[in-house]
Structure 1
Amino acid sequence: MTAALGVMTFARTMSASAQNMSFGADNFYRSNNVTIQPITFPNQFKMNVAGNLFTPKNLDANGTAPAIIVGHPMGAVKEQSANLYATKMAEQGFVTVSIDLSFWGGSDGEPRNAVLPDLYAESFSAAVDYLSLQNFIDSERIGALGICGSGSFAISAAKIDSRIKAVATSSMYDMGAVNRNGLRHAQTVEQRKEIIEQMSQQRSIEAAGGEVQYTSGTVHELTQDTP
């Protein structure tokens, strides 16, 4: 009964919140109750990871707070949905860090937009390194929130990093499966073999000095004509 009442109260609260624009899905929403600070920190491979640190303005100066690391969707950057999730969680009292996965956004890594899931997971652990060094963070209460592809990267990090005490995902996607099988298993084995052949030939082209072909997602260079 208590649980049911709790769910009903939560539902009413969310319904009322829908009338408040501060609860909307604007990726560039800024909260008057949260401070934002750009940060960088190294991973174990001596590559800098770029992030934004979100701190509640009412943070207890004499205490420690739980923290959440927020990872962006595959092909995105932290300034998109990760910042929004980090802001909304900071409004709830968490210290949060939105990160650019290595090779994306402001983080180090060449060639740009490279697909390296192991290093993506390392980006989460590097953020734990950073947070655990801050005297206002409870290092025993650090969690990870992964959006879309970052959901699987956050889980990969938590499997080998016991400092990550909790994991949550939003619209999590298995990027390995989608690359093997396509969306909704729409890709045949023959199509997969064709892609592998194209990738193999592209390596030879780039080894000979040819143009680098980038994966889809965030564009590599922004111009005045970029939509």
Structure 2
Amino acid sequence: MGAAYRNGLRHSTTLEQRKKAIAEAAEQRYVEFTGGETKYTGGTVHELNENTHPIQREFYDFYRTPRGEYTPKGSSPNLTTHPTLASIVKFGNFYPFNDIETISPRPMLFITGADAHSREFSEDAYKRAAEPKDLYIVPNAGHVDLYDRVNLIPWDKLASFFNQHLSR
């Protein structure tokens, strides 16, 4: 989420766009501090139409259907998956792959869908990691498919990885 927020998919976010988002979030934090209304941003669309982006369609199929929809008590389905404008920028300071090479010599397994828009992040983590490491790409799987589509989850790969690396 850190790289996705900072850089966008395939590094599509410019430095100027990032600075503008940070400035808007700072202004919104002050609005909320003084009692103003909370603003929400991003998240999964609530309706599909002919112009809906494929990533939004994939997320809709999970987050807006009984397959994966969850609304916490006291919230609204209209807010589910929508971060606040004031808080989303915290992802800009999330660098989960910094120092990933220090995990070595403990083995790491990265799993991603062949069709996942987020595949670039798993590939980046794999490149940064020291050996031993493994990148497993699940054919015909998107980003959310590996959340719950048990026929696509690579159970054999998981079992063999953990049996090999957790046995003494």
In the superposition, the TM-score normalised over structure 1's length comes to 0.20
Structure with bigger RCO (C-alpha 8 Å, 6+ apart): 2
Higher strand fraction (1 or 2): 1
**Which structure's residues are more often helix, by fraction?**
2
Give the TM-score normalised by the residue count of structure 2.
Answer: 0.26
Structure with max Cα Rg? 1
